[in-house]
A and B are shown apart, each in its own frame.
Chain A
Amino acid sequence: AQSVTQLDSQVPVFEEAPVELRCNYSSSVSVYLFWYVQYPNQGLQLLLKYLSGSTLVKGINGFEAEFNKSQTSFHLRKPSVHISDTAEYFCAVSVAGAQKLVFGQGTRLTINP
């Protein structure tokens, strides 16, 4: 069965600094990878996804992620963060042919002025 590990439960960053949120997965078969963002008391919004093709994917709000098959990683990056990026970020994986999404434990990104 697949699993997802988000290595950092909390990441504090100063405004306009770069940030990387780490995500590693385990699976013996082909996977699809996702990053979602959750603002307080709201549902999840899709930031970006890797389904096929280029391993560098760009999403909304200036975020991007790179799928690294050899390292089984899908780290999320943003070159310059804003206060409004303060939220919980979830990495998720699904296996080809399966319906379910498996989520990581989430990373709380806090942007300090």
Chain B
Amino acid sequence: GAVVSQHPSWVICKSGTSVKIECRSLDFQATTMFWYRQFPKQSLMLMATSNEGSKATYEQGVEKDKFLINHASLTLSTLTVTSAHPEDSSFYICSARLGRGLAKNIQYFGAGTRLSVL
């Protein structure tokens, strides 16, 4: 149980285009999903917290207009990197958590998306 699917696993795009990454909880309903960014050989950096049906909460320094997050259902959150530039190239990982009890403190992660902007 608690499987999170992330798609695509790898995307290459031209500078100036937009890219959408999907994060799905396959066997549970996720009231909260998280988006992280990871640079090579570094830890995860939280970008934003996404609650179903409400606006995402962005971490300090993360551009809301560059990284659009939508959490329209209890099983799907999307991250759109708008007008991508080479400096946006990175590994993006989503996570989701259950909504009840102590288990709500556990985050389950997707397999990540490697974005390369040419």
Chain A residues within CB distance 8 Å of chain B = 32, 34, 36, 41-46, 49, 51-52, 90, 94, 96, 99-101, 103-106
Give which listed residue, B44, B95, B111, contacts A42 with CB less than 8 A. Answer: B111
| B 31-52 binary contact with A (CB < 8 Å = 1; else 0) | 0101000000011101001000
B108 near A: Cβ within 8 Å?
yes
Q: Please tell me which stretch of B14-22, B71-79, B82-90, B99-107 contacts chain A, meaning at least 4 of its Cβ atoms lie within 8 angstroms of it.
A: B99-107
Q: Which residues of A contact B44 (CB under 8 A)?
A: 44, 90, 103
Closest to B32 in A: A99
Report the minimal beta-carbon distance from A58 to chain B, rounded to whole angstroms.
16
Known A43-B6, A44-B93, A90-B44; contact A36-B109, beta-carbon cutoff 8 A: yes
Total number of residue pairs linking A and B with CB closer than 8 Å:
52
CA–CA, A42 to B44, complex, Å? Answer: 13
**Given A43-B6, A43-B112, A44-B93, A32–B105 Cβ distance below 8 Å?**
yes
A94 to B95, CA, bound (A): 14
Kindly list chain B residues whose C-beta atoms are within 8 Å of the C-beta of A49: 106
Chain B residue, CB-CB nearest to A6? B43
- B114 close to chain A: CB less than 8 A: yes
